[in-house]
Amino acid sequence: MLLRLQKLLGITSNTPTPAIIITGIAMPSYTLAKELMQRKIATPCAFIDDQPWTNRTQILGVTIHYPSDLAALVKRQHVAIVVRFDHDITIANTIWQEVEKTGVQQIEIPNTASLGWQLKAIMETLKTN
Tell me: the pLDDT tens digits for 102-128? 999 999 998 889 999 999 999 999 988
Question: What does the DSSP 8-state code read for residue 93?
Answer: H
Domains, the chain, with CATH or none: 2-8+19-128 (3.40.50.720)
Residue 10's pLDDT is what?
58
Strand partners, 17: none
pTM of the model: 0.86
Residue 16's pLDDT is what?
82
Rg of the Cα trace of the chain? Answer: 14
Cβ atoms of residues 7 and 125 within 8 Å: no
Q: Which of 36, 26, 7, 15 is nearest to 121 (CA)?
A: 36
Phi-psi region of 37 (alpha: psi -120 to 50; beta: other; left: phi over 0): alpha
Cβ atoms of residues 79 and 21 within 8 Å: yes
Residue 87's pLDDT is what?
74
Report the 10 Å Cβ neighbour count for 97.
Answer: 10
Residue 86's pLDDT is what?
78
Low-confidence ranges of the chain (pLDDT < 70): 1-15
